[in-house]
Structure 1
Amino acid sequence: MAQQARIIDGKAVAAELRAGIAREVAALKAERGLVPGLHVVLVGEDPASKVYVASKEKLAVEVGMNSVAHRLPADTTEAQLLAKLAELNADDSVDGILVQLPLPKHIDTGRIIDAIDPAKDVDGLHPINAGLLAGGKNGLVPCTPLGSMLLLKQALPSLSGLEAVVIGRSELVGRPVAQLLLQADCTVTIAHSRTRDLPAVVKRADIVIAAVGRPRMVKGDWIKPGATVIDVGINRLPDGKLTGDVDFAEAVEVAGAITPVPGGVGPMTIACLLKNTLTAFHARRG
């Protein structure tokens, strides 16, 4: 019988990352009297968004950061939200700004992201940060791709020369994670809904990053034996259980290492938000 894949424990890696951030924040406070500030803006009453924002607040406070959530009513106008962002951009005590998505339909998400100071854009979504990433330069990187790469490096100390297939081409995960894989000297293919013979494309990969938002789409027989699988998908099934984009029960029998859902990439996303806030703090204050 083949050996089962090693489970990449995102909770443990995220806890370790947060502990390191907490030590650094404590040292900054002791030595320079400065504390990084993370401000999250939530518009409306989306239940999932409210849970995420509460979790971000709690973990930011745990690592010793100043954490402020600005909760705005669902009927907040685009102009009012832009005014709030202008205020946060101008406030020197604010190092990181995150606008919780999705926004209500009457607000243009692109315009809001463009209005965040790129130096404080801890979600890494501003076009300037996207451009810096595409050019292989230092900017703020989206949290989920950053977290995915940290988990990948837990499983594979060297990524150089490996073949990576990213399933999904979103601006939030697929494209940025492909750029990060390129920077790590991987050979990268971005696959998507129009890719011909997707199973054969995935089967070539030493590294599979699944980010399509379709439950258990990636089957075990798509995976090359011994490959490392990072499952970014979080899908809620009719029975309320969470599952990834990869059929875990099948893939765990074939892969060399795999992230579970939940407990894989999810915990890394918020830990990387805190990491980005610290990065922004240092970059802004030299």
Structure 2
Amino acid sequence: MKELRGKQVAERLKNECLDFVGKRNGEMPALAILRVGEREADLSYQRSVKKRFMDFGLEVKDYVLPETVSDAEFRQTFDFLNEDPEIQGILVMRPLPAQIDESYVIRRLKPEKDLDGLTNENLAGLFRGEEHAFAPCTAQAVVELLKEYEIPLSGKHVVILGRSLVVGKPLSQLLLGENATVTICHSKSENLKTITRQADILVVAIGKAREVGSGYIREGAVVVDVGIHSDAKGRLCGDCDYDTMATKAEAITPVPGGLGIVTTAVLGKHLVLAAERQRRTGAKEN
């Protein structure tokens, strides 16, 4: 059984980012992270992004608003970042508090600054197969990881557990672009294990700790675990029961050490692409 670790993928993406910054005489693209409140999950992810981006030669600017911020005040900060030419990418930590209209972000965020494939423009571009469209980073990370380990996708049957706009739906389009045959399953799917056991590659993104075990795969399948949780003992785990899955899988992502580090690295690569596109657009306008 092979472990599909994310470190070597992240290193490749890191080198691509450093190369870009080097060619621009050290000028660093900037990501703005807009956070409301002090949710531990948001804080943890923000720390991870900042640490990774420092290694990548990229800049992170923090904008923090109180949990009680009004919708009008939130919009004022968001609009400022959206229009600031010194900011090449924006990451809004979600979900937002109930008093804030989250759809405003989706409607108004400039597609060229939307590094995580949130806007309708980027999602539509993804479904049309347009190269410039930013896919959600987690979905893109799955494809980057499989390609890094030279796991064939063309003609293979990939089953995705989960139909979210963050992973399941966009990932299906990315995989179709690689000529895979894709099946999406969800909580209402009947004969679920019968379907998943047909998969050459099983991607699990259901948001439930250790929910999926070896009964869901055939011998020799590849498993990508998208989930990350903290169990009762404070240990990190994924959506899969790693120990049982590893006895049957040909290859599997560990948690931690698997997909998470790749997702952050993809965010960095998207920032570099955004900065380059915005530079070219600005040069044409001038």
What's the TM-score bracket when you normalise by the shorter of the two chains? Answer: over 0.9
What do the CA deviations read for 1:113-169 (whole angstroms, capped 9, x no partner)?
322111100111111111111111121111111111111112334311000000000
Cα RMSD (Å): 1.4
Looking at structure 1, the residues matched to 193 and 64 of structure 2 have their Cα atoms a distance apart, in angstroms, of 44
What do the CA deviations read for 1:38-76 (whole angstroms, capped 9, x no partner)?
111111111221121122122222222222011111111
Match of 2:181 among 187, 192, 198: 187
Looking at structure 1, the residues matched to 14 and 198 of structure 2 have their Cα atoms a distance apart, in angstroms, of 35
**What's the TM-score once normalised by structure 2's chain length?**
0.93
Aligned position for 1:177? 171
Q: Name the amino acid aligned to 1:180.
A: L
1:220 equivalent in alignment to 2:228: no
Match of 1:19 among 5, 15, 40: 15
Aligned position for 1:93? 86
Looking at structure 1, the residues matched to 242 and 80 of structure 2 have their Cα atoms a distance apart, in angstroms, of 45
Runs of 4+ aligned residues of structure 1 deviating over 4 Å after TM superposition are: none
- The SS at the match of 1:98 is strand
Q: Is the 8 A contact 1:82 1:115 kept in 2?
A: no
Q: Please, which moves more after superposition, 67-76 or 184-193?
A: 67-76
- The SS at the match of 1:97 is strand
- The SS at the match of 1:29 is coil
Matched pairs, number: 279
Q: Please, which moves more after superposition, 38-47 or 215-224?
A: 215-224
- The SS at the match of 1:160 is coil
Aligned position for 2:284? none
Q: Kindly report which structure 2 residues correspond to 1:31-46, keeping only aligned pairs within 5 A, or say none.
A: 34-46=27-39
Q: Name the amino acid aligned to 2:164.
A: S
Looking at structure 1, the residues matched to 82 and 73 of structure 2 have their Cα atoms a distance apart, in angstroms, of 14
Aligned position for 2:130? 137
Aligned position for 2:251? 257
Q: Is the 8 A contact 1:38 1:60 kept in 2?
A: no
- The SS at the match of 1:131 is helix
Match of 1:114 among 101, 107, 116: 107
Consecutive unaligned residues of structure 1, counting only runs of 5 or more, are: none
What do the CA deviations read for 1:195-231 (whole angstroms, capped 9, x no partner)?
0011110001111110001122222122122211110
Looking at structure 2, the residues matched to 157 and 232 of structure 1 have their Cα atoms a distance apart, in angstroms, of 17
- The SS at the match of 1:195 is coil
Aligned position for 1:102? 95
Q: Name the amino acid aligned to 1:133.
A: L
- The SS at the match of 2:25 is helix
Q: Is the 8 A contact 2:16 2:269 kept in 1?
A: no
Looking at structure 2, the residues matched to 215 and 157 of structure 1 have their Cα atoms a distance apart, in angstroms, of 26
- The SS at the match of 2:106 is helix
1:150 equivalent in alignment to 2:144: yes
Looking at structure 1, the residues matched to 19 and 247 of structure 2 have their Cα atoms a distance apart, in angstroms, of 39
- The SS at the match of 1:189 is strand
Match of 2:273 among 265, 275, 279: 279
Aligned position for 2:262? 268
- Residue 97 of structure 1: how far off its partner (Å): 0.5
Looking at structure 2, the residues matched to 16 and 137 of structure 1 have their Cα atoms a distance apart, in angstroms, of 24
Q: Name the amino acid aligned to 2:30.
A: G
Q: Is the 8 A contact 2:198 2:218 kept in 1?
A: yes
Q: Is the 8 A contact 1:155 1:257 kept in 2?
A: no
Looking at structure 1, the residues matched to 84 and 225 of structure 2 have their Cα atoms a distance apart, in angstroms, of 37
Looking at structure 2, the residues matched to 221 and 185 of structure 1 have their Cα atoms a distance apart, in angstroms, of 27
**What's the TM-score once normalised by structure 1's chain length?**
0.93
Match of 1:53 among 46, 53, 57: 46
Q: Name the amino acid aligned to 2:157.
A: E
Looking at structure 2, the residues matched to 283 and 192 of structure 1 have their Cα atoms a distance apart, in angstroms, of 37
Aligned position for 1:73? 66
Looking at structure 2, the residues matched to 208 and 78 of structure 1 have their Cα atoms a distance apart, in angstroms, of 40
